[in-house]
Amino acid sequence: MGLTIVGVVLGAIIAILITIWSENLRKPNLEIRIAPPVDVPHKGRPATQARSLSLELINKPLPRWARWMSRDAAIQCHGTITFHHLDGQNVFGRAMPIRWSGSPEPIAMSLVVDDKHIFIADPARFTLAPRIDVYPGEAEHLDVASRFDNEDECYGWSNESYFSNPVWRNPDWKLPSGRYLIKVTVISAGDKRTGIFRLINDVAQQDFRIEPSLPSDFVCD
């Protein structure tokens, strides 16, 4: 009788531990990586040449041996970017909301009705802190900064950049020539990830880039 009770208790404990283990394994597993720079020529826009820097948020798939289960999606991902001097001090003293590169540009849609141009504002486009879901095995890019034409300075890039004066060059996020640290924080319903990287802006536009941080790099909150 005693052995039977012990067996039942041990079986229940093992079942609970397996359930906890499998649920933890199924949680989103997020990683922030450097994405390749993007060079874009423009015509009739606020700049004729732009280089944009971004990072990518990856929700790693389950290991092969565990793919009989399904990993959860990272739901409602949102976050912030802060820019820091190399000594860790926050350049602006505040955080910039993340803009997901694949989200709609927050500009009014233009339609032609009876030879008249009509602009329609879509409220879903105008949020300054958009959210996005990242499914297992997929990645979403988030904008960091852009640099235009032959200018030495770069600008943090968010949805605010579409309404700034001048457009695209938001003075609230202007970074002179130099090297900086960037701290990226992404929050979802089931996870939080932080990454620190180097922003290299003391070079020609074609070399404007993001690099991995050094072991000694740190930022002040």
The letter for the amino acid at 42 is H
Mean pLDDT (the chain) is 84
Rounded CA-CA distance 102/61 in Å is 21
User: Domains of the chain: which residue ranges?
Assistant: 29-212
Pair 213, 192: CB distance under 8 Å: no
For 149-164, what is each residue's pLDDT tens digit? 999 999 999 998 988 8
For 59-105, what is each residue's pLDDT tens digit? 988 776 766 677 788 899 999 999 999 999 999 999 999 999 988 77
pLDDT band of 28, cuts 50, 70, 90: confident
**Residue 74 three-state SS:** strand
50-to-40, 205, 210 alpha-carbon distances in Å: 5, 8, 15
Sign of CA dihedral 133, 137, 138, 141: positive
For 151-208, what is each residue's pLDDT tens digit? 999 999 999 898 888 889 999 999 999 999 999 999 998 688 999 999 999 999 999 9
H or E segment at 145? Answer: strand 139-148
pLDDT band of 129, cuts 50, 70, 90: low
Residue 119, pLDDT score: 45
User: Which residues, at least 6 apart from 38, have a Cβ–Cβ distance to it below 8 Å?
Assistant: 51, 52, 54
The model's pTM? 0.82
Rounded CA-CA distance 194/183 in Å is 7
Q: Give the position of tokens 């423009």.
A: 42
